[in-house]
């Protein structure tokens, strides 16, 4: 059988890169999307069958171009994992318009753009899987995570609606919401003194859960939030 294809956003580092490597080990072909081409090339080099697509996922036209490039390269797309994120840490009174919009666009709007772009392809195939990366912050955020938490909470409810709309067409939509994960994004906001490494998850641990979902092992959780924490 033809190897399945997965599009991964935020694939240059962190959970996105770990997800790409986990799916590669399971025999998936990959379309890796990020705003940073150099990081993508490094991840691609560690995968057997992968293409790098440098794109700004906060722009719907760029997302549509990434989906088109995936189908042009592989002839199909079976799943998407939306890992791209931005986590500004600022009190409400000092959060700028730009910070708020970037948090919403990077975390939430891009999930909508990817879902909308893939929907007609999945409907034609009568199958498809989308995994959206949320956060424990959507339930219990740190102070200063107003924009980030709002965006991640939006992902939870958008994914629930999408799962219900997709069910008649064989489309699954899942949410993975990890606690603190040892990534560059985390360490930009919190030092190890504030959040010790022994209290964080490895990106590979989250990637294994994502891979189980994509493979169909957790198909019954479509529409649900899977909380992953230590």
Strand order in the sheet with 50-54: 50-54, 29-34, 5-9, 79-82, 128-133, 171-178, 225-228
Q: Which residue has the tokens 């997709």?
A: 166
Structure tokens at 2: 């033809």
CA–CA distance, 51 with 32 (Å, rounded to integer): 6
- Please confirm, yes or no, whether 148 is among the known catalytic residues: yes
Catalytic residue chosen out of the listed positions 28, 122, 145, 148: 148
Cα-based angle 164, 117, 165 (whole degrees, multiple of 5): 10
Active site residues: 148
């Amino acid at each position: 059988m033809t190897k399945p294809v997965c599009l991964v956003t935020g694939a240059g580092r962190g959970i996105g890169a770990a997800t790409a490597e986990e799916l590669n080990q399971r025999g998936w072909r990959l379309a890796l999307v990020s705003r940073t081409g150099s990081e993508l090339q490094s991840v691609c080099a560690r995968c057997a069958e992968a293409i790098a697509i440098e794109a700004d996922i906060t722009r719907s036209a760029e997302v549509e171009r990434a989906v088109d490039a995936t189908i042009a390269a592989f002839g199909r797309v079976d799943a998407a994992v939306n890992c791209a994120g931005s986590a500004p840490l600022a009190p409400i009174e000092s959060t700028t318009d730009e910070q708020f919009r970037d948090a919403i666009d990077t975390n939430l709007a891009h999930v909508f753009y990817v879902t909308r772009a893939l929907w007609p392809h999945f409907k034609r195939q009568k199958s498809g899987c989308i995994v959206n990366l949320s956060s424990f912050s959507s339930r219990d955020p740190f102070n200063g995570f107003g924009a980030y938490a709002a965006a991640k909470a939006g992902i939870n409810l958008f994914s629930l609606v999408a799962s219900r709309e997709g069910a008649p067409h064989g489309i699954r939509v899942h949410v993975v919401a990890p606690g603190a994960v040892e990534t560059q994004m985390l360490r930009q906001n919190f030092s190890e003194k504030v959040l010790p490494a022994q209290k964080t998850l490895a990106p590979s641990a989250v990637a294994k859960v994502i891979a189980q979902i994509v493979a169909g092992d957790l198909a019954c959780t479509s529409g649900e939030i899977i909380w992953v924490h230590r």
